[in-house]
Amino acid sequence: MSYTALYRKFRPDNFADVKGQDHIVTTLTNQIKHNRIGHAYLFCGTRGTGKTTVAKILAKAVNCEHPVDGSPCNECAMCKAIQAGTAMNVIEIDAASNNGVDNIREIREEVSYRPTEGKYKVYIIDEVHMLSTGAFNALLKTLEEPPSYVIFILATTEAHKIPITILSRCQRYDFHRITIDTIASRLEELLNIEGVEAEEKAVRYVAKAGDGSMRDALSLLDQCIAFYLGQTLTYDKVLEVLGAVDTEVFSKLLRRVIQGDVTGSIHILEELIVGGRELGQFVGDFTWYMRNLLLVKTSEEPEEAIDVSSENMKLLKEESTMLDVETLMRYIRIFSDLSNQIRYAAQKRVLVEIALIKLCRPAMETNLDSVLDRLRVLEQRIDERPVQQVIVQSSGEKRPDISGDNPENHQAAPAKAAPEDLQKIVAGWRTIIGQTTGMFKQMLQKSVPKYNGETGESVLYVEFQDFLGQTYVDNPEAVKELQDIIAAQTGKSVEIQMLVANKHQHTNLAQVSVDQAIRENIHMDIVTEEDPDEIE
């Protein structure tokens, strides 16, 4: 005798064996017990959740000669005929291949004949959303007022594609995704029947990989058993068969990403590929791992929100302190986008490598969450090195080292540091000039804010690098406009003098350093990296 797949062999044949759909089972059994059977049902839900199975059980129950508490007895002639697929009054139609008007017209003609056996003639139309518009229209009248002995059961994974005129004529039942606990319990039950030994951790991983679908979980379990036939099914063996990755590898990879270690991240990916891991599975599992990490960071009781072992929970809690929420959400966004792209990609490895580089190098992106991640990196560098050095390395500009190590640079340093007010103004200089308009804005974008390095007075000198800036040197309206914007932006009132480079007599002017402002206000809305296009 040929082998029967687990999902077919253990398909439920009564309502009691249906798992994870109690809200539907209870309603249908009550209807049968009290003889309140509807004429049209619509079963909606994702694949493998029991739509067709429940439809067949319902067809048996309404025709059963001796129903037991609303379920079929599976002993009478009608139950056995329906179970074997030989009953003339239970008609299954695949709407994917029988979706034309003519197919529905045949049904309309057949419903006029009473069932040859049993009480009801039941039509089960699977994937009903595949019917053509004409077929739906042909079905309308029959669906609304069928003979008393006809029941329609429509099943679909995409209820939104069904016309509202059809929906309004059916009792709708939404099949939920089945929980991991329910699937794992069912798998363990079937493994005992099959006489196969398996670790609890392995069974739970298969249940999780089923993604809410009992049929998918059973198919994966069948695959794992076949590969290691006669052996105990362990967690490592399941990972090997499914091409999945252990969570410890995810933890190792995430720590490399947090450190910005591109080389280390690529090496871990290389090891996974050499080990035969499937990249699509890896992307999905790593996204799920980061999702768990986000829940640990934001949930008050993560143990109840996440189904992981105590060892993995310890790792997640440790890593949650290494990242802020915005950075973690950026990671999830990048890998979620990747999961959509990688499905049909020819060069999957290249796409995954690019995604890992994006995680390690937030400067490659320009949206808000990447900017916040760049600030996080800058804060880490500030703790390790002087602020001035961080700004130089981030912008790529060669600036004088004012740390005092170089004697020549030390002599060129100004005698007094810029006042704190000027530091804060210059820290937000781009935001300030962004509020000006026209030619004045263009001149300010090329200007350099300076101060008197000898006296340290709180006078802001705006040095235009273009001779056209001479227009604004003696223009009190321009000075007033800039003062008003600074006052509104920083709350500081400052004296301003406008100059043109190489055309003034001030020899003691120095560029304003914003080191102290950054140290004290690292979380303020300031720009600490210079645009490479504007570096001279």
Same domain, 85 and 225: no
Query: Is the residue at 390 inside a domain?
Result: no
pLDDT of residue 175: 93
Q: Which residues contact 505 (CB under 8 A, 6 or more apart)?
A: none
Same domain, 207 and 292: no
CATH number at residue 116: 3.40.50.300
Let me know if 252 is exposed, middle or buried by CB neighbors in 10 A (0-12, 13-18, 19+).
middle
pLDDT of residue 536: 45
pLDDT of residue 534: 47
Same domain, 334 and 221: no
Burial code (b: 16+ CB inside 10 Å, e: under 16) for 145-181 equals: ebeebbbbbbbbbebeebeeebeebbeebebebbebe
Same domain, 141 and 273: no
Look at residue 528 and give its three-state secondary structure: coil
Which single residue is written with the structure tokens 């099943």? 155
End residue of a domain, out of 199, 219, 242:
242
Same domain, 223 and 169: no
Query: Is the residue at 98 inside a domain?
Result: yes
CATH number at residue 442: 3.30.300.180
Query: Is the residue at 409 inside a domain?
Result: no
End residue of a domain, out of 242, 264, 287:
242
Same domain, 132 and 191: no
Q: What is the pLDDT of residues 91-125, one digit of tens each?
A: 898 888 888 888 888 888 888 888 888 889 999 99
Same domain, 143 and 26: yes
Same domain, 236 and 192: yes
Same domain, 306 and 435: no
Look at residue 153 and give its three-state secondary structure: strand
Which residue range is the domain that position 142 belongs to? Answer: 6-175
Sign of torsion over alpha carbons 290, 292, 294, 297: negative
CB-hemisphere CA count at 13 Å for 157? 10
pLDDT of residue 138: 87
Task: Select from 51, 41, 37, 27 the least CA-distant residue to 162.
Answer: 41
Query: Is the residue at 195 inside a domain?
Result: yes
> What letter would DSSP give residue 344?
T
Q: What angle do CA 219, 280, 254 make, to 5 degrees?
A: 120
pLDDT of residue 468: 76
Same domain, 88 and 121: yes
| Tally of structural domains, the chain | 4
3-state SS of 489-502?
HHCCCCEEEEEECC
pLDDT of residue 187: 92
Residue 487 in contact with residue 421, Cβ under 8 Å? Answer: no
State the pairing for strand pair 121-126/509-511.
unpaired
Let me know if 462 is exposed, middle or buried by CB neighbors in 10 A (0-12, 13-18, 19+).
buried
Helices (H), 361-495: 368-384, 387-395, 407-412, 420-427, 429-433, 438-445, 470-473, 476-490
pLDDT of residue 60: 92
What is the C-alpha separation between 29 and 49, in angstroms, rounded? 18
Query: Is the residue at 383 inside a domain?
Result: no
Same domain, 220 and 142: no
pLDDT of residue 367: 61
Backbone angles phi, psi at 403, to 5 degrees: -75, -15
Q: Which residues contact 242 (CB under 8 A, 6 or more apart)?
A: 205, 206, 209, 220, 223, 224, 278, 281
CATH number at residue 282: 1.20.272.10
Which single residue is written with the structure tokens 């003098």? 497
CATH number at residue 214: 1.10.8.60
Query: Is the residue at 93 inside a domain?
Result: yes
Let me know if 523 is exposed, middle or buried by CB neighbors in 10 A (0-12, 13-18, 19+).
exposed
Query: Is the residue at 40 inside a domain?
Result: yes
Give, for 204, the enclosing helix (H) or strand (E): helix 200-209
Same domain, 254 and 315: yes
Q: Which residues does the chain have with pLDDT short of 50?
A: 1, 386-412, 517, 520-532, 534-536
Give, for 223, the enclosing helix (H) or strand (E): helix 214-227
End residue of a domain, out of 157, 175, 193:
175
Query: Is the residue at 514 inside a domain?
Result: yes
The pTM score is 0.58
Structure-token pair, residue 409: 């640079």
